Chains A and B, each alone.
Chain A
Amino acid sequence: MRRLRHGSLLWSLLLAVAVVLAGCAVGAPPAAPAAPAAGEAGAPAEEAAPQEVIELTYWHTNPGPAGEAQDELVEMFNQSQDRIRVASEFQGGYGDLATAILTAFAAGEGPEVSQLGTFEILEFYKSGVLVDVKPYLDGPNGVDTSDWPGTMLDAGAFDGGIYWLPFNVAVPVLYYNVEAFEEAGLPGPPETWDQFFEYARKLTVKDENGNTTRYGVAYIYGWFSWPLQSMIWSEGGNITTKDYSNITLNDPVIVELMTKLQDLVKEGAAIMPDPASGGHRGFFKNGQAAMILDSPGPFADIMEQSVGFTPMVANYPAGKAGRVYAPGGGGIVMLSTAPEEKRDAAWEFMKFMLSPESIAYYARRSGYTAWYGRAQEAAADLLQDERYRIIHEALPYLRGDFSVNMSPAVRTAFDEAVAKILLELADPQTTLDEADAKAEEGVKEEIFAP
């Protein structure tokens, strides 16, 4: 009797363990159930090998149409052939996507192909997360990159390989209020950064108490460092070398530009609005700011929602070094967790996503650019609109250099300095000196320390 009871106790113990383990199994990643399916498919495959379908997973970011359009492209790819089937999965924002890749990689799994922002490219490359696609790119089933703009191919190039290819490319866009410009007697959008500062003052309107009712320009809260990069590069300045051996956050060009931008704030000609009020875009759409430096992202919203004036687009002005623009957006990568036997198929899919037709389709649906020559030909209908044509004129000037984004130390030091100077009105020289020292110190801790 006692034995029996002991036995039942032990059984209940084992049962409890089993329940817990079963619970763990339920919580296991969705990849697990796929395994038996592959096994089942494996058996008959021996008889009819050529019929075997290669299953791939593609992870992407971008909510709304820019994300849906990727699902649609994946569906088109699946429809276009019967050898490869891709499952498209949304993973949240750029940061969430990177974290998802990180955890999947640590567990030795993950998608074969993924979209990837610009922040993580170098860290992922240095850690062996990304596959060198140069052999595919240059191979017999390669992609013609001869009409890719600027130096976009350099963005993901490290140590002779290419690990990241641009996919959703944004260019800098200056939005301006046509009537405000006419009122101020200005002939058109600023051609140079000097004109930009001059115009910002002329466009500012104040009431009898000296309070600004219309700012010349509204700065972006949170990511103003992106338009700043174009500004700095165009004026011949540099923030860091690509290998971080020379970080120059206190480059005289940067100090001068930041001082000028701060002066506008002090004079009431510029503001960095609160994000909740709709931020810089809200200020522009309500006619409270005559210019904003942004991307093609909000194009549709701005054109539809602007009240009481005509919004128009222009390229960013040129500086002493001409036009040098910082690209925005993201790219596409193959992950090293992809098994060898699936990599050709993964490339096939990447090639499809990068085809002129896909990029043109994506541009139509998402607001990103048809960023290379043949894609623009495929999107000729879109470019008949003068505004899209103007936006696309920026493409040849893109500098494929994400070094500021890729180093957390440089990126955060720069962002903090920008916020300090434009929100707290801290002294630009001192702030940038401190930021430079902080970035130099911080980069030593990163895996790509020079």
Chain B
Amino acid sequence: MAHRQTHGSSWHRNRRNWLTFLAFVAPNFLIFGVFTYWPILYSFYLSFNRWNFLRPTMEFVGLRNYARLLQDEYFWEVVGNTFTYTFSVVLIAQFLAFLLALALNRKVPGQPFFRTVAFTPHITTTAAAALVWVLLLDPQMGPLSLIYNALGVQGPRWLVSTTLALWAIIIVGIWKEIGFSSVFFLAGLQNINRDLYEAAMVDGASTWHLFRHITVPMMTPIMFFLMVSGLIQAMKAFDVVAIMTEGGPVYPASATYVYHLYQLAFRNFRAGYASAFAMFFFVAIIVITLIQVRMSEKWVQYGE
């Protein structure tokens, strides 16, 4: 009897916990449900159909959208562009941000000012940043043209060159990402226990050894976080492309995956096909993130 009573009260407590949990989770769950999960499910459904958002009926086409996707030269081109963009932005930006954080971590006069300067690109609207860069890179009016003129050479026409246009976008991506990453790196650097350095110095470690065996390992969790979030962020690049090149000069020379998806859906009215694009992207991001997590076990060091 006593046993049953205990059992009953634990069930009651569980139920109470469960209801509390539900009460707290419900608002978020509803918001996610309506604005995230439902669109994903609906997009999945659309990807098996041919539809233009407007017609009253959809035409079920099975896997045709997916089959077509693999044969679509635009698909492979935008995958390639996105791959180039993402890895260039993430790797170069992280590397530079780390160096910047190391520099900002030193006790130099005016340090808060430099930190603010470093972070500013991140909080600048992409539209404004992209426009500024369009002008900076302009071979006729941009400040770079002064350098070209001084050197007596014809400056590259970044935005009308099929090879350089994508790199112009990458430069803006890197520029915006550095500030964000450096703030995280800086926070990480300042969190490293001083005792570790002191202990190592007592043991006669050189600056390089301190860096190699204390700073870098202690920063790996932050690197990992920035790598995962930066990769997802970079893969979704859209606004810089829309403002700087619209995927040109010869489409899709500088079009990213999401930009092309938008063009397909809202400019060419191919809701079903664009949904197949979206589904592929969804799976790709999950797979890449899982790979990162799996690989992180090998190099990310948690704790001291």
CA–CA, A219 and B159, complex, Å = 16
Residues A215-229 near B (CB distance < 8 A): 221-222
Interface segment, A16-24, A166-174, A256-264, A359-367? Answer: A16-24
Which residues of chain A have C-beta atoms less than 8 A from B269's C-beta?
Answer: 102, 123, 408, 447
Residues B152-167 near A (CB distance < 8 A): 157, 159-162
B137 proximal to A (CB < 8 A): yes
CA–CA, A20 and B31, complex, Å = 7
Interface string of B26-63 (1 = CB under 8 A from A): 11001100100000000000000000111110000000
CA–CA, A408 and B52, complex, Å = 13
| Most central of A105, A124, A278, A419 by chain B CB within 10 Å | A419
CA–CA, A99 and B142, complex, Å = 34
Query: Which residue of B has the minimal Cβ distance to A2?
Result: B12
Are B248 and A128 within 8 A (Cβ)? no
If the complex has contacts A20-B30, A123-B54, A277-B141, are A10 and B159 also in contact, measured as CB distance less than 8 A? no
Which residues of chain B have C-beta atoms less than 8 A from A23's C-beta?
Answer: 31
A135 proximal to B (CB < 8 A): no
Which residues of chain B have C-beta atoms less than 8 A from A412's C-beta?
Answer: 251, 268
The interface size bin for chain B is: 35 or more
Cβ 8 A contact of A105, one of B16, B31, B54 = B54
B76 proximal to A (CB < 8 A): no
The interface size bin for chain A is: 35 or more
- B276 → A minimal CB distance (Å): 12
Which residues of chain B have C-beta atoms less than 8 A from A2's C-beta?
Answer: 12, 16
Residues B101-135 near A (CB distance < 8 A): 134-135
CA–CA, A9 and B137, complex, Å = 59
- A408 → B minimal CB distance (Å): 4
Which residues of chain B have C-beta atoms less than 8 A from A124's C-beta?
Answer: 54
Interface segment, A76-84, A139-147, A268-276, A345-353? Answer: A268-276
Cβ 8 A contact of B138, one of A126, A277, A415 = A277
- A405 → B minimal CB distance (Å): 12
Which residues of chain A have C-beta atoms less than 8 A from B23's C-beta?
Answer: 9, 12-13, 16
Are A277 and B140 within 8 A (Cβ)? yes
Main secondary structure of the interface of A (DSSP, over half): helix
Interface string of B245-265 (1 = CB under 8 A from A): 010111100000000000000
Which residues of chain B have C-beta atoms less than 8 A from A423's C-beta?
Answer: 160-162, 249-250
A304 proximal to B (CB < 8 A): no
Are B19 and A415 within 8 A (Cβ)? no
Which residues of chain B have C-beta atoms less than 8 A from A9's C-beta?
Answer: 16, 19-20, 23
| Most central of B52, B141, B162, B250 by chain A CB within 10 Å | B250
The 8 A-B residue pairs with the shortest CB-CB distance in the complex, in nearest-first order? A127-B54, A408-B268, A277-B140, A276-B138, A16-B27, A419-B250, A13-B23, A20-B30
B residues adjacent to A (C-beta < 8 A): 12, 16, 19-20, 22-23, 26-27, 30-31, 34, 52-56, 134-135, 137-142, 157, 159-162, 246, 248-251, 266-270, 273
Given contacts A102-B54, A423-B250, 10 further A-B contacts (CB under 8 A): A9-B19, A20-B26, A95-B266, A106-B53, A123-B269, A127-B55, A221-B160, A408-B269, A412-B268, A424-B162
Name 14 A/B residue pairs within 8 A (Cβ), A-sorted: A16-B26, A20-B31, A123-B52, A128-B56, A274-B159, A276-B135, A276-B159, A277-B140, A277-B141, A408-B269, A419-B248, A423-B161, A423-B249, A445-B270
